[in-house]
Amino acid sequence: MNAKMFDSEIKVMEMIWKSEPVSAKELSLTAAREIGWNKNTTYTVIKKLETKGYIKREEPGFVCTSLISRADVEKSETRGLVDRIFGGSKKALFSALLEDEELTDADIAELKAMIESR
């Protein structure tokens, strides 16, 4: 995944991951109910996701299925954040996250275990 994913695209991907395979009509109804979008907005975002290769649409029913996983998007978006905001430093990101966070002993032990398992 090379292209940046916009917030609107992530919202639609979340709906797809939750219910896939799902028709574009169902996505538009869900987006109207949960986000307040009209049908045209949802269909525009679906088309962008398809053009970028993140989803496929199939007939009958204009059914949408993801071609990328949530984990792939999380990794890519995190990498982008680290590069843009923290100059590529994961240590700086980690420090910023922990700066105002109250951590229990269990939280600290879990974080240490994650680091040590790398």
CA separation for the pair 73, 84 (Å, rounded): 16
Q: Are strands 63-66 and 55-58 parallel, antiparallel or unpaired?
A: antiparallel
Global pTM reads: 0.80
pLDDT, the chain, mean = 93
CATH of domain 1-87: 1.10.10.10
Position 5 pLDDT exceeds 70: yes
Q: What is the pLDDT of residues 34-68, one digit of tens each?
A: 999 999 999 999 999 999 999 999 998 899 999 99
Q: What is the pLDDT of residues 10-32, one digit of tens each?
A: 999 999 999 999 999 999 999 99
Task: Grade residue 103 by pLDDT with cuts at 50, 70 and 90.
Answer: confident
